[in-house]
A and B are shown apart, each in its own frame.
Chain A
Amino acid sequence: MSLAARDQYREYIERLPFQYLADTPTVRYYTDWSVFEKRMDIGYAYTQHKLPDAMIRQGVDILLGTTAKISDNASSRVEVLDISRGSAPMEPMSLVGVSTKMQAYHAYMWNTGVYIRAAPNKDFGRIVVASTSGDGYMGHHIILDIGDNARGSIVLLDYAGDYDGLKTLVIEVIAGEGSKVDIDTLTIHHKKHAVYKTMYTVLRDRAAITGRSLNTGGAMTRYEETYILEGRESMLQARSSNIARPGTRTDYLLNSIHKGEKSNGFISARGVVLTKGYLAQRGLARIDKEASWSSSEVESHVAILGDDGRGYAIPMLEIHTGDVVKANHEASVTTMLEEHVFYMRSRGLKREEFEKLMITGIIEYSGTASSLNIDPEDLFID
């Protein structure tokens, strides 16, 4: 990226808002932007946090910290370029764009990044990319360029450690024509850290993505996962599990935007809120005018188990064409009422057994826990 471009982003940080419109008349912002605002002046981190064991045992191929470390194993299967100090074959932020303060902040500040290119018509196996944090600010940028008809599995590990720090992480993905990719995302943020995270994926013709994510946020985690089904007959199945641990706050958005004809999307999230936890779980399924004969479903269910917890489930469906195969949305926020407790006790389970079953069930919902062999205990880091 040129210095001029970076300077422009610096100016944008001052000019652009955190968001343009309030989220609702009552809940103005599901993300508490003040947490980010207070930390935007902290300096770069010079030391990096060690990944938790649950992430290390995945066998990390590419580790982003203060620098990028790329294993020989990764280089043998995909092309990996360290774009931290140089230019990239694809301009960072070219998919996401820069229209808000945090996007501009990331575009200006990010310090470590990689460009990963999977060759067309090949199976690249399993690539594990990890992003850690540090005592200060850390910004990571990942570009995944999946060639046409490529096959493989990508594991994205995102950790933020025990420090009042700030991290930004932007992942831009292009899934080439006819490619078929599984993406597992594991997000574990310590309750002191604030993290702004975006994953933005474009699916070309007949590309198929199975996305699974398991997320537990920090002091304030804003995570937006957007899939643009740009290609004809592109397919998306994305499931997410979100755990609001005690005292943590997460605003999670899972979006499926249809632009290609006969595209097919299913996005679904489950969340659980523990004592004094906060979780906004939002999802947008949008079928644009040009995406005729598409199908889109969005689901969001949140269970509030702990005292003083707050949870929101907001699915939105926007249809801009009359030719739709299917368009459904469904949501619920379940506060653990006496009727739930009675119901499960009438099956022979004690309240604490039922709650454990529910937390485990929501953790396992997305499939990430099973795919990465994650134990529920691995998530409760603080």
Chain B
Amino acid sequence: MGEGLEVIDLHVNVHGKKVLRGVSLNVDYGTIHAIMGPNGSGKSTLAYTIMGREGYEVEKGDIRLDGESILDLPTEERALKGLFMALQDPPQVPGVRISTLMIAALNKRAGSNDLTRIRDPKIVRRLYQLAEELGLTREILQREVNVGFSGGEKKRSELLQALVLDPKIVILDEPDSGLDVDGVKKVSEFLTDLKARGKGILLITHYARMFKYVKPDIVTVLIDGRIAVQGGPEIADLVEEKGYAYIRKAYLRSTGSTI
């Protein structure tokens, strides 16, 4: 039985439009698998499909976590099994504090029906500690989810949730977008930390700038919903140096494809 996340020959339609056309990849524990590609190549579709978002229809293929198919599971059950996705632009949720959300999500993972009760005061202390490690103030935990947050606060709040909920696989959709150099460094440190803790990381990014600070184990480039190239960190360097247009041309030459 496989360990980690396996995506097998995935074909996905979104609102009737074919977006992914046979994507296969693995995310092993303790590794960072970077997904790169130009706009519209299917990066976010891959992430949403793994999480089971409505409207992302799997036409063919499978998604497995630790060898078991999760295709038939609703999003919340996939999350409880150990998948976590940090969104690129998470929505505002007025009325729900970050701490409330975290406690509810932790209680669900502990099998409790009472979503608001703090089962262990240590959880609150840990929340404070992790927030500070991410460069957030304690006060942010009492703020409503993403309400009035700056771009950087949104990103860090997503990362905080990833740390607290302790998932097996963390999917990050462009965690560096909208961040300054210091912000990118901080996120990169966080990824290194998650990797050291044995998490499998699927890192979706448009640019290679993060890789100055954190090296991916595998880099996959998607072009028009297909894997154009897959390899080690040198692929990211190639993207940075030559751009996606070059990779696209090279891919078309190698396959004789007309996409």
Contacts and interface: CB of A to CB of B under 8 A. Distances in A.
Given A347-B105, A357-B104, A334 B92 contact: yes
A337 B80 CA distance: 22
B102 to A, nearest CB: 9
A361 B84 CA distance: 23
A338 B83 CA distance: 19
Contacts of B48: 342
B93 A360 contact: no
Contact of B147 (A301, A350, A356): A301
Interface in B43-74: 48, 51, 53-55, 74
A334 B100 contact: no
Given A342-B54, A343-B91, A358-B93, 18 more contacts: A272-B95, A301-B92, A301-B94, A301-B147, A303-B95, A332-B147, A337-B91, A338-B54, A340-B93, A343-B87, A346-B85, A347-B105, A348-B109, A349-B104, A350-B76, A356-B115, A357-B101, A361-B95
Contacts of B85: 346
A325 interface: no
A69 to B, nearest CB: 37
B75 interface: yes
Nearest to B55: A338
A331 B224 CA distance: 39
Interface in A255-305: 270, 272, 301-303
Nearest to A364: B95
A349 B109 CA distance: 10
Contacts of A353: 104, 108, 115
B90 interface: yes
B115 A347 contact: no
Contacts of B51: 342, 346
Interface in A147-197: none
Contacts of A356: 115
A332 B94 contact: yes
Contacts of B147: 301, 332
A357 to B, nearest CB: 6
B93 A344 contact: yes
A354 B95 CA distance: 11
A346 B91 contact: no
A358 B95 contact: yes
A334 B94 contact: yes
A365 interface: yes
Contacts of A350: 76
B196 interface: no
B163 interface: no
Contact of A348 (B80, B91, B95): B80
Given A353-B104, A362-B94, A345 B76 contact: yes
A342 B53 contact: yes
Nearest to A347: B105
